[in-house]
Chains A and B, each alone.
Chain A
């Protein structure tokens, strides 16, 4: 025992000494130009019930913070986990479930302390400790729990202890440990989880609002508002929209079935400024079906529902943040409120109290469930999931004056944040009216950028005249990872209930020329040796920066812009571990990956009087001047017919063939034109003649997008026949037109 004791003491001292290591010297002065602080926003320890089940029975929040500071930690399967580079901050996001009985029994002011039972539980000497522990333990192992001790009325000691450990690990200026927890609402296997962050350890709730209290985010926000009214500062970060089956970003009704309105939007934005864009269980940026023109959209897609319910699969619409940003603009434009203006962070959601951020040290995120290399490669199903679809944890980057709870919390609140796929890409992104190349030069360019523009996460100030906004973007590679391939600006905009996106390559390495047809910068050469799982930094850049002006700018429409930075291709963890185990590289997932960073968006809103009249017709305005086509008329118009439609918003004219057997195909779609939301890859489908199923029912043409139904309805207004899609916010944007003589005007495409 003496031996064991001294061993344990040694271990613990080493852990604490590490903390001291970084604490020694006084913190640097706050930097008004802000530094970037990389951290872990989402991690579980053995105190999370499910982590415990995965076999992580030992690691505490204190262990997680020690791991973040560089100390090794034992995995449930016995191997050592250690981060290559310590983190700047972490918030342990466990659930609070345990009831702190002993503290209560030993506090003379409590009811429990006055009871006979409480007296038995009071501790004065070390001998008492043993006695009480064994007494209580006995009742447990005999399955005769003492009722008073499992009652939820007693304060949760886990919550309290979690906060104590965070407070102990917090070293202002050096390392920030946040008071945080996870609200774990999963109605019908649809992920609605949020992490809740608190600014100040002196102002914390008695205990957290849990999903047992309510599964509705609206109730969570109401609780958060209440806490805020009492002087507390807190915010929520939603995660795994990709596993929400469309429930994360609704556009019509809230989780209680009430129509979404301005109050709902305000409540959401007041309480959850951030979303987690990627983690071990996949990315939530976008999906190839939502962004068919984004050649980098097929990135760590995970189609999975928590609990792996039989007979169901995950939905796409409403499950990805770019789609939500677009819908948010459409809501703003058509209804005057926007519930979807979040900034981005990343996370791990590891249940090991430690997380792998890099492809070359991936050890899963769920204890014994996915902790074994061979098990991962042979697709040892973990809760219905092939672990090959998992990927390393993402990191959250916060631009803040200093590494303190207050400064970092403010950064999260103002959304001056970005998420990375796990590497430490540094990226700054500013928007303004008159940035020029000169603004990137000189020692003090950052100061100037803050003065002339707004950083990521902000709204552009109201435009002077119709001047196009310009954006200053600067990115530096992680010195321990791949070089940079390119920097892109992802733009979204909305008009008349339709939303669009376009991706601009704005800075790239080497002398690649944009493709003369698509305008896209060609893929960078891959240096990856797949069999040996290696790569070389012989292509790509250390640093990329530019000032980019939006030449397509239309001052009358709402828009957002965010930067995406891509590294050169490097081997995915599955490729690295296939070499280690000596097996073939899987074709289930890509062999290489392009690590990346996503900045929080910058938004543009047209000023007073700038908004233009909608191009489509508002259905509500049709009134008595027209009428909806009933089932029979709609059938006559469409079934077994080819109909030319004009998109009144874009001006595009295309053919829709609704054949007599319930198949429809759209033809003459120009892939270079921006496409409204939720058409999928209709240009390619048209070219290949790949049909979609439709049905005319209940006076609507019903078709599907992902596993969800969308519909068209038709209206006769005077001599015009108008069609409306159910996801275009109450606008009839398509008009039946005669067969056009030509599809476009050569003057429009003059070189």
Chain B
């Protein structure tokens, strides 16, 4: 929706604008008398500004603008600036939750912009990786064959049929045609989940290799399973995952910096809160809380 709220906003902004025009007309009349005495507000549009407008026009793949179009762009810019300054002068930005959040969001972006400027060295990355190698471990994998007894053809008897299959240690050729594959090689739990559902994907790893076993239930029926082999979890060497390590490192740096920057700013403020113990408590005397990032 991108836009239900955006549309609401537009509507909300429009309403103050209506007020603005009315109030502004009054203020303009009053202010007009005074303006003659003081220095006038200046809006300077430089050649550079116009070049930039043209550039942005071109970048959008538009044909070169006509002189009238350029005048229109300049006029629009001036208009925007005038309305913006007047709105600020009238304090329309105060206590506007949208303006507040937008500015707060910009601060977060700035923090991230800044933190991204520092490239980690290979040594830093390697050291960081070594201290948390387990986090980069590869999941275990399994290879197996199976014979399928579908609910569609066997209904409630599917389990018993699959169990008989296990008992006689049969191979493919019996059972129902499975709509995907009869054998899977080197699969992770996540990959098997997408095919069989979560219970089967989890339980198949507990089966012993080398003989027909089960049966296991999937979302489709029951399966006799022959596990060929299992590959345990392994930890890669740095070179194999260097790119991922770097991405994780930068993510961590970014979040860290954002919090650190917030902490520094937070320290400048004294926060006054009502006292409350829980949802049932009624606010009583306010409590004061000095800066610091771990208020909770």
Contact = CB atoms under 8 A, between A and B. Distances in A.
A55 to B, nearest CB: 9
Contacts of B194: 85, 424
Given A16-B244, A479-B218, A480-B197, A102 B256 contact: no
B257 A129 contact: yes
A21 B190 contact: yes
B110 A307 contact: no
8 contacts: A14-B135, A16-B244, A16-B251, A50-B4, A98-B109, A134-B261, A477-B220, A542-B152
A123 B114 contact: yes
Contacts of A123: 114, 117
B104 interface: yes
Interface stretch (A22-30, A555-563, A708-716): A22-30
Range class of the A interface residue count: 35 or more
Contact of A136 (B110, B141, B245, B256): B110
B171 to A, nearest CB: 16
A140 B109 CA distance: 13
A481 B197 CA distance: 9
Given A19-B247, A25-B138, A542-B221, 14 more contacts: A1-B263, A5-B260, A20-B236, A24-B236, A52-B101, A53-B97, A106-B117, A123-B114, A129-B114, A140-B103, A308-B7, A366-B1, A383-B5, A543-B220
Most buried by B among A141, A478, A481: A141
B247 A16 contact: yes
Interface string B207-235: 00000000000111100000000000000
A191 B117 contact: no
A57 B101 contact: yes
B26 interface: no
Interface string A347-370: 001010000000000000110010
Interface string A209-247: 100010000000011001100000000000010000000
Given A23-B244, A100-B113, A133-B261, A193 B152 contact: no
Top 5 A-B pairs ranked by shortest CB distance?
A479-B219, A307-B7, A16-B248, A479-B197, A153-B52
Given A12-B252, A20-B244, A53-B101, A306 B4 contact: yes
Contact of A193 (B3, B110, B198): B3
A143 interface: yes
Interface stretch (B56-64, B270-278, B283-291): B56-64
Given A17-B135, A141-B103, A542 B151 contact: yes
B110 A133 contact: yes
Given A24-B138, A52-B101, A184 B10 contact: no
Contacts of A102: 110, 113-114, 117
Nearest to B94: A143
A184 B241 CA distance: 38
Given A1-B263, A8-B256, A182-B2, A143 B88 contact: yes
B105 interface: yes
A111 B55 CA distance: 13
Contacts of A53: 5, 9, 97-98, 101
Nearest to B261: A133
A553 interface: no
B186 interface: yes
Given A13-B135, A102-B117, A479-B197, A8 B252 contact: yes
Contacts of A22: 188, 190
Interface string A11-49: 111111101111111000000000000000000101011
Contacts of A182: 2
Contact of A184 (B2, B106, B108): B2
Contacts of B55: 153
Contacts of B115: 129
A15 B247 CA distance: 10
Nearest to B6: A50
B170 to A, nearest CB: 19
A17 B248 contact: yes
B101 to A, nearest CB: 6
Interface of A: 1, 3-5, 8-17, 19-25, 44, 46, 48-50, 52-54, 57, 62, 70, 84-86, 95, 98, 100-103, 106, 111, 123, 126, 129-130, 132-134, 136-137, 140-141, 143, 151-153, 157-158, 161, 168, 182, 184, 186, 189, 191, 193, 206-207, 209, 213, 222-223, 226-227, 240, 281, 306-309, 349, 351, 365-366, 369, 383-385, 424, 474, 476-481, 483, 537, 541-543
Given A186-B6, A543-B179, A129 B117 contact: yes
Contacts of A207: 59
B132 interface: yes
A285 B186 CA distance: 40
Contacts of B151: 483, 537, 542
A161 B101 CA distance: 20
B110 A189 contact: no
A724 to B, nearest CB: 38
B264 A9 contact: no
B248 A307 contact: no
Contacts of A3: 294
Dominant secondary structure at the B interface:
helix
A50 B102 CA distance: 10
Contacts of B11: 307, 309
Interface string B143-163: 000000011100000000000
Contacts of A84: 198
B193 interface: yes
B60 A209 contact: yes
Given A44-B2, A385-B4, A140 B106 contact: yes
Interface in B65-124: 88, 93, 97-98, 101-115, 117-118
Interface of B: 1-11, 48, 52-53, 55-56, 59-61, 88, 93, 97-98, 101-115, 117-118, 132, 135-139, 141, 150-152, 179, 186, 188, 190, 193-198, 200, 218-221, 236, 241, 244-245, 247-248, 251-252, 255-257, 259-261, 263-265, 293-294
A307 B265 contact: no
A307 B10 contact: yes
Contacts of A25: 138, 141, 186
A186 B3 contact: yes
B105 A46 contact: yes
Contacts of A153: 52-53, 55-56
A349 B3 CA distance: 10
Contacts of B48: 111
Nearest to A138: B265
Contacts of B186: 25
Contact of B136 (A17, A152, A541): A17
A585 to B, nearest CB: 27
B133 to A, nearest CB: 10
Contacts of A141: 103
Nearest to B294: A4
Contacts of A15: 248, 251
A78 B136 CA distance: 27
A132 B110 CA distance: 9
B61 A48 contact: no
A478 B179 CA distance: 13
A383 B244 CA distance: 41
A140 B111 CA distance: 13
B7 A133 contact: no
B6 A4 contact: no
A365 B3 CA distance: 13
A261 B98 CA distance: 42
Contact of B4 (A140, A383, A474): A383
Contacts of A480: 197-198, 219
A351 B1 contact: yes
Contacts of B56: 152-153
B135 A186 contact: no
Given A21-B139, A134-B264, A193-B2, A101 B113 contact: yes
